[in-house]
Structure 1
Amino acid sequence: MLPQRLPPPYPNCLLPDPSLRRSRCLPVENSTSPIPSGTEDGSADQPPAGGQPGIRSQGGARPDVVVLDFDDNQLVSALAGVADCNLARIEQLLGVTLTPRGNRVAIRGDEDTRGQAARALGDLYGKLKRGQDVVMADVDGAVRMATSAMPEARRGSASVQFVTKRRVIEPRSANQAQYMQSLQTNELVFGIGPAGTGKTYLAVAAAVSLFIKGQVDRIILSRPAVEAGERLGFLPGDLRDKIDPYLRPLYDALYDTLPAEQVARSLESGEIEVAPLAFMRGRTLSNSYVILDEAQNCTSVQMRMFLTRLGENSRMAITGDPTQVDLPMGAKSGLREARDVLRNVPGVAVTEFANVDVVRHPLVTRIVDAYSKADGKRLPNLQDSGGDKAGDTGPKA
């Protein structure tokens, strides 16, 4: 099974350890590790790996080998990556041996890891068949999905994706897949977890996907105007100028899913609206997709006010990290309360991410793990003192 955290990839995905290349970079006639043929022992072809079209899975001449037969040599080259770095990454994560030859890849390992590698390769190949690029983060995501406990029918399913004008977004972990399905099927969704798990990005992608389809008329972005331990003082300009610095992560996700000129037009026309949390009182948000980011910095009163703004044909996504509360001393975070109170309400879904779901630089996972361990040691003292405190980073129940 996949370890709790992924080891770091090779620098820039361009120069993997030469020792990992072995015979697969040699000419066919000089190879010392020929691919066993699936037809030599009369074994029958198996269903496509990962349920992807264009792949046949065959049993090898050796019992510990399975051979994937792809239908497009050029895509197989893209699947392998520069200097076979994608294959080397899968080997590193799963402990298998991958040997490519032409349009075939032999997988050597135990039964479980062979199946996991085949599913990961199948999902990545399907991504290439759909015209999408494969980068190292996609390889890590495919391995996470292949080793997860998700039902096979959901793994790689086209229903678990958001189609935007700039890219197709697919899950890179089991929790991301659950979160994306919740965003598709529920009116109110909480995405709670550490930094780098895709909470905000996927919420914006869900909003953009529905906006493009015409299922909502507006996207409304909101965030508490709370500095992360700093005092920025007076900011010049109009309302949008004053709150823009707090909403940059949301803008980054918008520009990644929509053309820049459309984002500018939509902001000008009001189809995409940025609004401070404090200005939401009294409004009814209909035919809209509403996103509240950094919700751990909402007070209990602010959270109740925001949740009751939901109007007809609207959806709401609330994201936050309970370990990064920047509220003043003695103020209680409304995110934890809302999660606990609303978890079992029909129409409300809660997805809680873990450190293993971090999809940023691998170092981020190790940083989050280190802080989690340090916070765990301080947890008894924090619970004894009671309440949320400024700078409180301990994960409370």
Structure 2
Amino acid sequence: MSELSSTFALPDSAAAIALAGSDGTALRRLEALTGTQIVLRGLDLQIRGRSSQVERLQALIQLLEPLWQRGEPIGPVDIQAALTALDTGRSDQHRSMGLQVLATSVSGRPLRPRTLRQNSYVEAIERHDLTLAIGPAGTGKTFLATILAVRMLQERKVERLVLTRPAVEAGERLGFLPGDLQQKVDPYLRPLYDALHGLLGQERTSQLLEKGVIEVAPLAFMRGRTLADAFVILDEAQNTTCAQMRMVLTRLGENSRMVVTGDTTQIDLPPGQLSGLVEAEQVLAGVEGVAICRFSDADVVRHPLVQRLVQAYARRDARPPAPAARKRTDGTTARSEP
């Protein structure tokens, strides 16, 4: 089949830099995924390949247009998400997602959903009083919820934010922690502070914490309360017991919204204890006003290696367990047959 040459003109240098990446990594990835050859000369993308390959690349570049038009760097997640949308006939949804900017970070970076599942998650939070987000680390479950919480606070749709998580150690025994009560629980809540600092800045976050507009507290502090006019985020919910989950869900008061996030592959509860998140996913399926959003490794938006790590562990978890050892009558050990 004969090759086709085509030129795609970019509007300005910011768009060219955004699409190519500082070291050309994005272009190399586009080449690998479409089988084309791409050369950037000035503001012109010169493309060579079979006609079907060139058309596919042009469609992909057009899907990414909302990003490079803003001069926003194109990452591997953005390219893969656009390609998936193209292959599944969801280009229109992906294009509208690219136009959506939820907020701007303190460093000036636009914050937005980057995959179609993330976009569905944002829509679910906006439409439901209770949203459960379940999936692997790095899929933006907590960060997107925090963005929407801060936005609702700034728009005066809620009066306060309540961010909580169970104080469960991730496989380590930290022992006694010095300081007052807040200092003792702060290490468990650090990821929530990090998200707030990225959105509001450290100074503004501190001011809102001092005024009580934002409350970051361990789950034990929720008992007996009614959380009205609030946006509540329960993070790391896989480490709640069934009783804790039931307790916190029933704290929801008038004009409030709650988002529960967790990864059921990273449960740190004692062996044999059922996770409250696992139970809630089963019990609340189909309940009016409740949305359940499930993420996969394709939605990981951290370092590209994180996605590969999640996939590797998922493959390991899917393998059948090794045969157990059994004792022979002569005292030696033998493997049980599968």
- The TM-score, its normalising length taken from structure 2, stands at 0.84
Distance 1:169 1:320, change over 3 A: same
* Equivalent in 125, 145, 152 of residue 183 of structure 1: 125
Instruction: Report the number of matched residues.
Output: 317
Partner residue, 1:242:
184
Partner residue, 1:342:
284
1:78, 1:273 → 2: CA distance?
38
1:115, 1:289 → 2: CA distance?
45
1:174, 1:114 → 2: CA distance?
24
* Equivalent in 84, 88, 91 of residue 147 of structure 1: 84
Structure 1 unaligned segments of length 5 or more: list them: 1-61, 382-397
Asked if 2 retains the 8 angstrom alpha-carbon contact of 1:189 and 1:350, the reply is yes
Find the residue that maps to 2:251 and give its secondary structure. Answer: coil
**Is residue 172 of structure 1 aligned with residue 114 of structure 2?**
yes
Distance 1:288 1:118, change over 3 A: farther
Asked if 2 retains the 8 angstrom alpha-carbon contact of 1:224 and 1:294, the reply is yes
**Is residue 104 of structure 1 aligned with residue 44 of structure 2?**
yes
1:281, 1:119 → 2: CA distance?
53
**Is residue 79 of structure 1 aligned with residue 16 of structure 2?**
no
* Equivalent in 138, 163, 167 of residue 103 of structure 2: 163
Distance 1:106 1:253, change over 3 A: same
Distance 1:169 1:117, change over 3 A: farther
**Is residue 207 of structure 1 aligned with residue 144 of structure 2?**
no
The one-letter code matched in structure 1 to 2:219 is L
Partner residue, 2:224:
282
Q: Deviations over 1:278-312 (max 9, x none)?
A: 12112111111110011001111111111111112
Distance 1:63 1:342, change over 3 A: farther
Asked if 2 retains the 8 angstrom alpha-carbon contact of 1:355 and 1:368, the reply is yes
Distance 1:328 1:75, change over 3 A: same
Structure 2 unaligned segments of length 5 or more: list them: 324-338
1:254, 1:328 → 2: CA distance?
31
Q: How many angstroms does 1:316 deviate by?
A: 0.8
* Equivalent in 254, 262, 266 of residue 312 of structure 1: 254
- The TM-score, its normalising length taken from structure 1, stands at 0.73
**Is residue 134 of structure 1 aligned with residue 76 of structure 2?**
no
Structure with bigger RCO (C-alpha 8 Å, 6+ apart): 2
2:4, 2:120 → 1: CA distance?
33
Larger displacement relative to structure 2 (274-283 or 91-100): 91-100
1:214, 1:183 → 2: CA distance?
17
The one-letter code matched in structure 2 to 1:155 is H
Distance 1:67 1:340, change over 3 A: farther
Larger displacement relative to structure 2 (141-150 or 190-199): 141-150
Asked if 1 retains the 8 angstrom alpha-carbon contact of 2:5 and 2:49, the reply is yes
Partner residue, 1:45:
none
Q: How many angstroms does 1:163 deviate by?
A: 1.3
Once the two structures are aligned, what percentage of the paired residues are identical? 46
The one-letter code matched in structure 1 to 2:90 is P
Asked if 1 retains the 8 angstrom alpha-carbon contact of 2:165 and 2:234, the reply is yes
1:1-397 matched pairs, under 5 angstroms = 64=4, 67-109=7-49, 114=54, 116-130=56-70, 133-134=72-73, 138-148=75-85, 149=88, 151-157=90-96, 160-166=100-106, 167-378=109-320
